[in-house]
Amino acid sequence: MRAIEVIGLTLFVASIVFILVLTARRSYVGYKARRRSVLVAQLRPLAIAFVEGDADGGVPEYRGLEGEVCAELIGGYSRLLRGEARERIAAYFEATGGVDEQLRRLHSRRAWRRATAAFMLGDMSSHRVVPALLGLLDDPARPVRMAAARSLGRLDAIDAIEPLVESAIDGRLPRDVTGLALFDLGTAAVPRLLELSASDEPAVRASALELVGLLGEAGDAAPVLNRMSDPAAAVRAASADALGRLGAAEARDALVRALDDRVPGVRAAAARALGQTGGRRAAAALLPVARTDSFEPAHAAAHALARIDPALVVEAAADPDSGPHLREAADLVRL
């Protein structure tokens, strides 16, 4: 009986200690959160003045929690700024040792530390880190590779375009991650992507053309148009989709010819593109495809035709031999 009482007392004391530790922990976390909020309010005006070039003598070098908050504020503003403001931010993190500290953390055995460091380097705006981030595209941990890709885009690293495209093709990076990184580069990436559209690898050519369609302008259509006769069907399809997104009216004749391509996917891409470029000739070419082609091209042609000439779709759908795709497109037009 005495042993049971001792065990019960021990468990009671252990419970009390656990509750006290948990309460102290919650109090400390709450205090730290309140302290951080106060510091954010205090340091934000100074951080804004610094990135705008209005801070006399720059930003003092803070330590501890103050240093963390100041770095977070300044790094956060780098996502919104360009030009001289970004240069000031890079100079700040170089001078305070922030860049070197994160570069050291890239060698950590823990993947989450490497990923965090790779992510933070993108907000520090220093182009000195680009080679290290490029090396991380081969990191064994996927989150690290993704963080490196994001930061390469944030740093406007033109040298990263080809490695990013290749990483998406071989599966090291998800395509949406690569796309977001290249979107950060914007139109500056287009010249290099156009160079890649002449690669010996069909997958590289197709991916580059797809991205040109997303990032380029109508004036970039000429080199894309040349790829409409590429021996690889995936490249022809990517070229057609890109021309549609670029809104290149001069590509209409080539897209109409592509409606006779032997590969259904290319015909479907051409139909989608013609729906974006428009025109009477496009409408006349799309109608027979919508009526008689296989599923994918016919479906794309019917919906493209509905964009160009809704009244024609409704009229054509009244024909008993119009086919299911024209009737579906006509139903959508009537909604």
Q: What pLDDT was estimated at residue 266? A: 96
One-letter amino acid of 9: L
Has residue 133 been placed in a domain? yes
CATH number of residue 132's parent domain = 1.25.10.10
One-letter amino acid of 221: A
* d(C-alpha 187, C-alpha 307), whole Å: 28
Query: ∠321-325-328 over CA atoms, to 5°?
Result: 105
Domain count, the chain: 1
**Closest alpha carbon to 301 in 283, 314, 319:** 283
Please answer whether residues 312 and 291 qualify as being in contact, where contact means their C-beta atoms are separated by less than 8 angstroms.
no
| pLDDT range class, residue 262, cuts 50, 70, 90 | very high
Q: What pLDDT was estimated at residue 201? A: 93
Has residue 270 been placed in a domain? no
| pLDDT range class, residue 185, cuts 50, 70, 90 | confident
* d(C-alpha 36, C-alpha 65), whole Å: 7
Convert the pLDDT of each residue in 115-141 to its tens digit. Answer: 999 998 988 888 899 999 999 999 999
Please answer whether residues 160 and 181 qualify as being in contact, where contact means their C-beta atoms are separated by less than 8 angstroms.
yes
Provide the CB-side half-sphere exposure for 9 (13 A, CA). 6
* d(C-alpha 281, C-alpha 288), whole Å: 12
Task: Give Dmax over CA atoms of the chain in angstroms.
Answer: 99
Convert the pLDDT of each residue in 66-106 to its tens digit. Answer: 666 667 777 666 666 677 777 888 888 888 888 898 899 99
**Closest alpha carbon to 243 in 232, 258, 233:** 258
Has residue 157 been placed in a domain? yes
Q: What pLDDT was estimated at residue 106? A: 94
Has residue 128 been placed in a domain? yes
Task: Compare 245 and 335 and report the one with higher pLDDT.
Answer: 245
Q: What pLDDT was estimated at residue 10? A: 67
Please answer whether residues 237 and 269 qualify as being in contact, where contact means their C-beta atoms are separated by less than 8 angstroms.
yes
Instruction: Calculate what percentage of the chain has a pLDDT beyond 90.
Output: 51
Q: What pLDDT was estimated at residue 41? A: 72
Worst-scoring range by mean pLDDT, 9-23, 77-91, 275-289?
9-23
Tell whether the torsion through CA atoms of 73, 79, 82 and 88 is positive or negative.
positive
Has residue 113 been placed in a domain? yes
> Cβ contacts of residue 234 below 8 Å, gap of 6+?
202, 203, 206, 265
Which residue range forms the structural domain that includes residue 139? 44-50+62-184
Model pTM? 0.74
One-letter amino acid of 310: P
Has residue 115 been placed in a domain? yes
Average pLDDT (275-299) is 91
Convert the pLDDT of each residue in 140-178 to its tens digit. Answer: 999 999 999 999 998 989 999 999 999 999 999 998 899
Has residue 120 been placed in a domain? yes
Has residue 150 been placed in a domain? yes
- b/e for 238-257, b at 16 or more Cβ within 10 A? bbbbbbbbbebeebbebbbe
